[in-house]
Amino acid sequence: MSPRLPGLVAALAMLAAGPASAADLPLWELGLGVAGLSLPHYRGAEKSTAWLLPVPYAVYRGEILRADRDGLRALLFDSDRIDFDLSASATAPADNGDEPARAGMPDLAGTVEFGPNLNGRLARGPGWKLQARLPVRAAFTLESRSRAIGWSVMPHLNLDTEWRGWSFGAQVGWLWGSQRLHAHFYDVAPEFATPTRPVHRARAGHAGWQATLSLSRRDGNRWIGAFVRADSLAGSALRDSPLVRQSNNLSAGVAVSWVLWQSARLVPDPDALR
């Protein structure tokens, strides 16, 4: 999957929440900032692109609807150890002119994925928590005539902790996808085959793994954050596609935002670690 927008959305959504606290916090916060990122054109791509982008800072701490470091989600069930919500992700259209492996092929249409997400708390202590998460999402293209292109699953472990005003996150997960979803990114049709790019039909199954480290800090109205992510297709069903030029990719980014508006209403922090 192209990480242009998912890398952007996942990274910024993961970073766009201040450190958890036992104190009450505003129901919503809005702000603006800037981010610098380096992202591969897609998972397995040969080239990367540097981005300098405006960053919207948005946090909403509702009882059902939440927008935080885990993205935009609707909480359907919540207990002391398990919660169940809806989550979404997306990819942007990819320009193939900058990626040698896709030269002469049509540009990739953007996609959106959404579906249920099951979260289970494995352990918790003062200032930290460890969760197992299981998002299952249906995928659709973003074009004038949207098409359903299958599904994805990414079971992963997520650790959140705090130290001296800094929030740290670590996540490792394994990806699986349907044949149609993999085909959208990794198929080579006969009309686009070349001597170095043979016809290829992607398979369903294991799509590799991802590991992400992040940190953030809130100082008054200023928020800063950074992340680094390793992405691997080694041993996956995608590795034999001629569009995969390397098994491992690295993404990174740093962002600074300023909170400009916030609600007068305060609510308990739903993600407090203490």
pLDDT tens, residue by residue, 13-44:
444 444 444 468 888 899 999 999 888 888 89
Q: Give the mean model confidence (pLDDT) for residues 188-206.
A: 96
Domains of the chain: 4-263 (2.40.230)
* pLDDT score of 68: 61
Looking at residue 88, what is its pLDDT?
A: 80
Of residues 122, 161, 131, the one with CA closest to residue 19: 161
Q: What is the pTM of this model?
A: 0.81
Which of 67, 38, 29 shows the shortest CA–CA distance to 222? 29
The yes-or-no verdict on residue 228 having pLDDT over 60 is yes
Task: Classify each residue of 209-233 as buried b or exposed e, where b means 16 or more C-beta atoms within 10 Å of its C-beta.
Answer: bbebbbbbbbeeeebbbbbbbebbb
Is residue 224 within 8 Å of residue 258, measured between CB atoms? no
Across the range 237-241, mean pLDDT stands at 94
Mean pLDDT of 221-239: 93
Q: How far apart are CA 251 and CA 171, in angstroms?
A: 14
Separation CA 92–CA 111 (nearest Å): 7
- In the predicted structure, residue 5 carries a pLDDT above the cut 50: no
Mean of all residue pLDDT scores within the chain: 84
Higher pLDDT residue, 196 or 80? Answer: 196
Q: What is the pLDDT of residue 75?
A: 64
pLDDT band at 109 (very low <50, low <70, confident <90, very high): confident
What pLDDT does residue 2 have?
A: 42
Q: pLDDT-based confidence at 1, cuts 50/70/90?
A: very low
What is the average pLDDT across 115-142?
Answer: 93
CA gap 168, 232 in Å, rounded: 22
Higher pLDDT: 18 or 229? It is: 229
